[in-house]
Chains A and B, each alone.
Chain A
Amino acid sequence: MRPNDVPLRRVTDFLSSMKLTLACLGLLMILVLACTLLQVPLGTHIAVERTIRSFLVWYTPDWSPVRLPVFPGGGLVGGVLLLNLLFAQFLKLERSRRKAGLWLAHLGLALLFIGEFSTALFQVESQMPVEVGQTKNYSEDTRQMELAVVDVTDPGKDTVTSIPESFLRPGAVIETPSLPFKLAVKRWYDNSDLGMRKPTDPPSEATAGVGPNLSISEAPIVTSDDAQNAAAALIEPVSGRDGLGTYWVSNALGAPQGFVREGRTWRLVLRPRRYYLPFSVTLKEFKHDIYPGTDIPKNFSSLVRLNDPSAGEDRDALIYMNHPLRYGGKTFYQASFGQNDQLSVFQVVRNPGWLIPYLSCILVALGLLLHFGTKLAVSLRKAA
């Protein structure tokens, strides 16, 4: 039996083959192109989720009841390319000084892939809108909702129980030790049309809060980057056999809703998912400079007070374009502004792997310089 016939050998041969490299590069190009074009109808987030950050690209044709996998996704192609790179590197590429540049470049590239996988897995992005003078200790993810059940009996301290969006499915009954009642989910809409109920409309399903005066119907999800879905849920808190009223909650509703039970006052709010920070940020000043005689923005900057009693930090920090604040494993970027320059919005990003790309860029750049530099020197010597 020749070594080539060993099944394991065949697998490693395939995994380290240059054909596979070329196939993956080609597929990746198609994926990147598709991802770019799909951003026009779908918005960046969804387009990336469906093409790059998935193992298969799914498509549901009009005639088909099930969705069909039509193309390998970025996760699959990237993963195979990473394997291919490592196998080719360790099985085929000679370990010589002549190839040192290629070694560096390819290892750097592998690191870059690992970095992107880590980003896909661990990166959490959220926003923090702060008004001048306001102090905040949480950021929000506007793409995910949570149902907050807040005990506001004690005026000095709110006790919050938050239920992630994924639990809010019609028919679900949510029980948790921190609440003395259950929550029955009657309806859930990812996006909805809200309006005041007209006399001719069918009666509202809600019996308490602002719901009875509203007409709420399901609406198609919006995906473009600057649009916001108005999620809505019909919730009935239940204690034993007693219903405590049925409430429509939505992130598009501002009015507080709630009930009193056994001497405690409860509020129900559907709101963007919050990430609480172990420290607080106070916006002291926001600046929005423009070039004279134009409306071209020249600079945005936010002066904040960072207060972290547990670490003994209490200091000012300036967040401006290209100069984020990195603190407590999170990075705060100047992202937007509003309310006549009285509101500053920070992008808050937690990405434990943020240094990986920096390292891999240096490796690849050095490797390519070394490799092509040597080759150029050789060909110049030949030409001379």
Chain B
Amino acid sequence: MKKGQRPPLGAFWAAFAAALACAAWPLLAPAPKTEFALAEAARLPVLEGGRVKPLDSFARNALLLIRGTQSLPDGRREMSATEWLLEAMFKPEAADTKKIFVIDDPDVLGLLGLQQSERRFAYWQLEGKRDEVGQQAQRAEKVESSRRSRFQNAVISLSRRLDLYEQVKNTIMVSGSSDPVQELAMFSEALPGALRAVHSPKAASVQDRAAMKALAELLERYRFLARAAAFRPLAPREGEPDDAWKSIGEAILQPNGRPPHPGLEAYAVMARAFRLGDASAFSSAVNEHLGWLASERPADARKARQEVLFNTAQPFISGMALYVAALLAVFAWWGTRRPWVAGAANGLFAGAVVVHTVGLVARVWLQGRPPVTNLYSSAVFVGWVAALLGLFAERIHRKGFAVAGGALLGFCTLLIAQHLSASGDTMEMMRAVLDSNFWLGTHVVTVTIGYGSTFLAGALGITWVLRRHFVSDPDPETTKALVSLAYGIVAFALLFSFIGTTLGGIWADQSWGRFWGWDPKENGALLIVLWNAFILHARFAGYARERGVMLMTVVGNIVTSLSWFGVNMLGIGLHSYGFMDKAFYWLLAFGVSQLLLVWLGFLPPRFWAVETD
């Protein structure tokens, strides 16, 4: 295909529409028929981790932490996270038999006396050794995190997951109570008399003393509930501050002279109905409570509904699939050289970028924050920048390189994000010093754009290396286009990483009193700036030409990955908000792979083909 020749528009739009339709499928597909009103229950707002979220989000995160997935197989059907959560809260004896605890470490399995034949175990299989796991974890916690052995890390992880599961079981009712509705009724009936007996023991009647005795056991259980709850399900009522969400136990123990919270009754009825398998009673309790929430806390109810929609759509998963499809289509185009394949590749890629964008915007909307707030969101954003830049860069030369680079990066970064999300809520609250939308929106966003564009330049460098060895007669014009594209993107990357880095300095001057503190993360950003400046100056002076520039962009991948993830692994400094040690080996492997590519770039073109001739 000649330069500037536009691919046919028909193929482009057809592929684009198909991509969007695929992404919208999870929303449009009819929900699987369930007996219980699970879809409605998923929308119940609760407070956890400092923010209001739907039960669905809590359930997905909890299951992701415990099992590493967002749903679990139950016989022949798939059980949703919400259904699992309801079961764990209301019917723990059934949930205890679900194999949800992933245990890979052979030493931990040995500690539990379990065979290594399986990966996943049910709570009842671990219950007998629960105390032992807790003690081992406590011992391991005392060891500095960087010096812990694999066993110690694994036992801490298992203990935390068991804690979470036990908290879930004791959030709405004490695990194992048979009829929470009756208990609640008993409690409210006995309370006034018991209070009289407590406040004036001498004047108390016989009935009052009996009430006090009956209450003592219940009180103990509710105190336990107030302590153990995994989240706070009861919304603040009129006249209470917005963050005054309460756990079941707290609401019962501190009525503050008001009538009981309507949610107490609602959750108790839900629990009983779920236990008894009474689907209609369950549905009416859920719907009634949702109705109360919609009138009392309309904003929270709406937010929760929207977040469930976002959770169901999973735009980043569909985006990942579409990026792969676009990448394959570009390869097909290069193989066949047919214009309509080019159109389809561009259409798929544009669709993927749109889906990615929608997901990103939805997160910004839901969280009320700029797009980058933690390591997870930085991965999502880096990929988005690279893909968007690729989409625009493709319009200049129309050779497919920008699409291929953008799609590859979009896919890889979303995959990284997917792995990072396994560590908990991705919309977590911001620590005090980071709680500044202005700086998150300026410094963090620009510096992340710098990461994304440096990676895109690196992806073009990789394309150049591969093309050198796999294309038998590369035409010089195309090569020139690739090089000038990479150069332009390096310049773009320098601009944004410099502005981002210095804006970070200004933020630091505002919050810590020095513009530049040589903190690891600051140094990482500086390395990217220096490296991009190095490339541009080397090219300007003529020391680096085509090969030099392209191979240096590949090295840029290493520099950027070190700055993005590597410095967080040092576990020191003011930016160590995203500590992760497992990823170290992946980072190492990535660095080695990039060095191999550089080495490959130094070898004569198609050296292997020459040898076999």
CB-CB under 8 A for A365 and B498, given A299-B432, A349-B513: yes
CB-CB under 8 A for A21 and B537, given A333-B512, A365-B499, A376-B488: yes
| Contact call B232/A25, Cβ cutoff below 8 A | no
Set of chain A residues within 8 Å of B48, measured between Cβ atoms: 293
B526 at the interface (CB under 8 A from A): yes
| Contact call A383/B530, Cβ cutoff below 8 A | no
Set of chain A residues within 8 Å of B513, measured between Cβ atoms: 125, 324, 331, 333, 335, 347-349, 351
CB within 8 A of B498: which of A299, A368, A379? A368
A323 at the interface (CB under 8 A from B): yes
| Contact call B527/A29, Cβ cutoff below 8 A | yes
| Contact call A322/B498, Cβ cutoff below 8 A | no
B520 at the interface (CB under 8 A from A): yes
Closest Cβ of chain B to A247, distance in Å, is: 36
- Whole-angstrom distance between the alpha carbons of A39 and B574 in the complex? 12
| Contact call A22/B538, Cβ cutoff below 8 A | yes
B206 at the interface (CB under 8 A from A): no
| Contact call B534/A379, Cβ cutoff below 8 A | no
A96 at the interface (CB under 8 A from B): no
| Contact call B431/A322, Cβ cutoff below 8 A | no
A98 at the interface (CB under 8 A from B): no
User: Which of these binds chain A: B355-363, B412-420, B501-509?
Assistant: B501-509
User: Which of these binds chain B: A62-70, A163-171, A181-189, A356-364?
Assistant: A356-364
Closest Cβ of chain B to A8, distance in Å, is: 23
CB within 8 A of A18: which of B431, B540, B570? B540
CB-CB under 8 A for A383 and B396, given A22-B543, A357-B506, A358-B506: yes
| Contact call A357/B495, Cβ cutoff below 8 A | no
Closest Cβ of chain B to A288, distance in Å, is: 9
- Whole-angstrom distance between the alpha carbons of A365 and B502 in the complex? 9
| Contact call A291/B439, Cβ cutoff below 8 A | no
- Whole-angstrom distance between the alpha carbons of A291 and B431 in the complex? 9
Question: Which residues from 297 to 354 on chain A have a C-beta closer than 8 Å to any C-beta of chain B?
Answer: 297-300, 321-324, 331, 333, 335, 347-349, 351, 354
| Contact call A299/B573, Cβ cutoff below 8 A | no
B127 at the interface (CB under 8 A from A): no
| Contact call A44/B397, Cβ cutoff below 8 A | no
B514 at the interface (CB under 8 A from A): yes
Q: Give B490-523 as 1s and 0s: 1 = Cβ < 8 Å from A's Cβ atoms.
A: 0110110011001101110111111111111001
- Whole-angstrom distance between the alpha carbons of A383 and B398 in the complex? 10
Set of chain A residues within 8 Å of B433, measured between Cβ atoms: 321-322
| Contact call A36/B524, Cβ cutoff below 8 A | yes
Closest Cβ of chain A to B173, distance in Å, is: 19
Set of chain B residues within 8 Å of A361, measured between Cβ atoms: 499, 502-503, 505-506
Set of chain B residues within 8 Å of A203, measured between Cβ atoms: none
| Contact call B514/A297, Cβ cutoff below 8 A | no
Set of chain B residues within 8 Å of A380, measured between Cβ atoms: 396
- Whole-angstrom distance between the alpha carbons of A361 and B428 in the complex? 32
Q: Give B211-249 as 1s and 0s: 1 = Cβ < 8 Å from A's Cβ atoms.
A: 000000000000000000001100000000001110000
| Contact call A292/B243, Cβ cutoff below 8 A | yes
Set of chain A residues within 8 Å of B530, measured between Cβ atoms: 25, 28-29, 32
CB-CB under 8 A for A368 and B495, given A39-B520, A119-B515, A383-B397: yes
Set of chain A residues within 8 Å of B435, measured between Cβ atoms: 298-299, 321
- Whole-angstrom distance between the alpha carbons of A351 and B514 in the complex? 8
Closest Cβ of chain B to A333, distance in Å, is: 4
CB within 8 A of A35: which of B432, B515, B518? B518
B66 at the interface (CB under 8 A from A): no
| Contact call B503/A294, Cβ cutoff below 8 A | no
- Whole-angstrom distance between the alpha carbons of A119 and B509 in the complex? 12
Closest Cβ of chain B to A194, distance in Å, is: 25
Which residue in chain B gives the minimum CB-CB distance to A347? B513
| Contact call B507/A322, Cβ cutoff below 8 A | yes
Which residue in chain B gives the minimum CB-CB distance to A74? B518
* From B50, B492, B515, B526, residue with most partner A Cβ within 10 Å: B515
Closest Cβ of chain B to A17, distance in Å, is: 9
Which residue in chain B gives the minimum CB-CB distance to A364? B498
| Contact call A291/B429, Cβ cutoff below 8 A | yes
Set of chain B residues within 8 Å of A19, measured between Cβ atoms: 541, 543
Set of chain A residues within 8 Å of B571, measured between Cβ atoms: 40
Which residue in chain B gives the minimum CB-CB distance to A52? B518
B533 at the interface (CB under 8 A from A): yes
Closest Cβ of chain A to B558, distance in Å, is: 11
| Contact call A48/B518, Cβ cutoff below 8 A | yes
Q: Give A3-41 as 1s and 0s: 1 = Cβ < 8 Å from B's Cβ atoms.
A: 000000000000000110110011011001101110110
Set of chain B residues within 8 Å of A299, measured between Cβ atoms: 432, 435
B70 at the interface (CB under 8 A from A): no
Set of chain A residues within 8 Å of B47, measured between Cβ atoms: 292-293
B71 at the interface (CB under 8 A from A): no
Set of chain A residues within 8 Å of B397, measured between Cβ atoms: 383
CB-CB under 8 A for A357 and B515, given A321-B436, A372-B492: yes
Closest Cβ of chain A to B400, distance in Å, is: 15
B51 at the interface (CB under 8 A from A): yes
Which residue in chain A gives the minimum CB-CB distance to B496? A368
| Contact call A25/B533, Cβ cutoff below 8 A | yes
| Contact call B573/A39, Cβ cutoff below 8 A | yes
| Contact call B514/A369, Cβ cutoff below 8 A | no
A123 at the interface (CB under 8 A from B): yes
| Contact call A375/B491, Cβ cutoff below 8 A | yes
B114 at the interface (CB under 8 A from A): no
Q: Give A125-165 as 1s and 0s: 1 = Cβ < 8 Å from B's Cβ atoms.
A: 10000000000000000000000000000000000000000
B143 at the interface (CB under 8 A from A): no
Set of chain B residues within 8 Å of A123, measured between Cβ atoms: 514
Which residue in chain A gives the minimum CB-CB distance to B398? A383
Residues of chain B having any CB pair with chain A under 8 Å = 4, 47-51, 231-232, 243-245, 396-397, 428-429, 431-433, 435-436, 439, 484, 488, 491-492, 494-495, 498-499, 502-503, 505-507, 509-520, 523-524, 526-527, 530-531, 533-534, 537-538, 540-541, 543, 567, 570-573
6 A-B pairs with CB atoms under 8 Å apart are A35-B518, A40-B572, A322-B433, A323-B510, A357-B515, A380-B396
Residues of chain A having any CB pair with chain B under 8 Å = 18-19, 21-22, 25-26, 28-29, 32-33, 35-37, 39-40, 44, 47-48, 52, 112, 115-116, 119, 123, 125, 225, 290-294, 296-300, 321-324, 331, 333, 335, 347-349, 351, 354, 357-358, 360-361, 364-365, 368-369, 372, 375-376, 379-380, 383
- Which 9 A/B pairs are nearest by Cβ-Cβ distance? A291-B50, A18-B541, A349-B513, A361-B502, A292-B243, A297-B432, A357-B515, A333-B513, A36-B523
